[in-house]
Amino acid sequence: MTKTDAVPEGGGGRTPLVELDDVSKYYGNIRALEGVSLEVHAGEISCVLGDNGAGKSTLIKIIAGLHRNDSGSFTIEGEEARFANPREALDRGIATVYQDLAVVPLMPVWRNFFLGSEPTKGVGPFRRMDVDLMRATTHAELLRMGIDLRDVDQPIGTLSGGERQCVAIARAVHFGAKVLVLDEPTAALGVKQSGVVLKYVAAARDAGLGVVLITHNPHHAYLVGDRFVLLKRGAMSGSYTRDDITLDELTRQMAGGSELDDLRHELEGRGPA
């Protein structure tokens, strides 16, 4: 299987929402990323796969505005992006959902949904949070994504890991994100909960967002992905569209490709100890 620059049918040759071209990042003499390229189109899911230490976290931080790339180009809808902080990235429509979700477990679901962006009513000393609006909006937005919670007043810590991920996705959609970056959303979940989260990842794509799914699980990536970028030790080891790679080949690439074949031959060739 060879690397390809082909654009899948969903991209249609349109300007990507986010594009990284030959991006590198160094911390002193340590190479975190080198020569990495990624396209994120509206209505598509771009999956970034790699083991621990592959450079996935550094890539997330560049897109989210936490770090700046040292070389290469990072553009948003064709314009060069140089973020000073994550707020600037959010203002440009890039919402990042980290693995720890940054929720307050004892606060209700509606409070976490609006955390940091609470609507208010009243003026002057009578100004206060509009709790009724936040409750109603949270329930309606979750329902629009297909999430029917019994009670948005329950502490978010009482929800399952999959449900908390889904709340975070619905929040990003509500606040107008164009690009949704998901950091290993299924890493700590079982099979059933992972399926629930992937369903809502697909729902975000169907709502017109460009999604970046960071994962080390090729099976999860292939279920929903349109593009696949494989990272190994900070460099790209492959870039494919869905039409250009099978699940078996994607899994083989993630497992080490030729290195895995060499190991198998070596183990098969060994006699009993």
147 with 157: CB under 8 angstroms? no
Would 6 be classed as within a structural domain?
no
The pLDDT assigned to 41 comes to: 95
Nearest 10 degrees: Cα torsion 236, 216, 15, 83:
-80
Would 23 be classed as within a structural domain?
yes
CA angle, 141 then 145 then 150, to 5°: 70
17 with 179: CB under 8 angstroms? yes
213 with 226: CB under 8 angstroms? no
The pLDDT assigned to 145 comes to: 80
d(CA 152, CA 150): 7
Helical ranges in the chain per DSSP H: 56-63, 86-91, 109-113, 131-144, 161-174, 191-206, 218-224, 247-255, 258-268
d(CA 149, CA 138): 10
List the domain range (segments joined by +) for residue 26.
Answer: 18-104+177-268
The pLDDT assigned to 28 comes to: 87
Would 55 be classed as within a structural domain?
yes
The pLDDT assigned to 189 comes to: 84
Would 109 be classed as within a structural domain?
no
Would 154 be classed as within a structural domain?
no
pTM: 0.83
CA 71 to chain centre: 23
Would 165 be classed as within a structural domain?
no
Q: What is the CATH number of the domain that holds 30?
A: 3.40.50.300
213 with 48: CB under 8 angstroms? yes
Residue numbers of the chain with a pLDDT score lower than 50? 1-10, 271-273
Would 42 be classed as within a structural domain?
yes
The pLDDT assigned to 153 comes to: 94
Would 145 be classed as within a structural domain?
no
The pLDDT assigned to 123 comes to: 87
- Total count of domains within the chain: 1
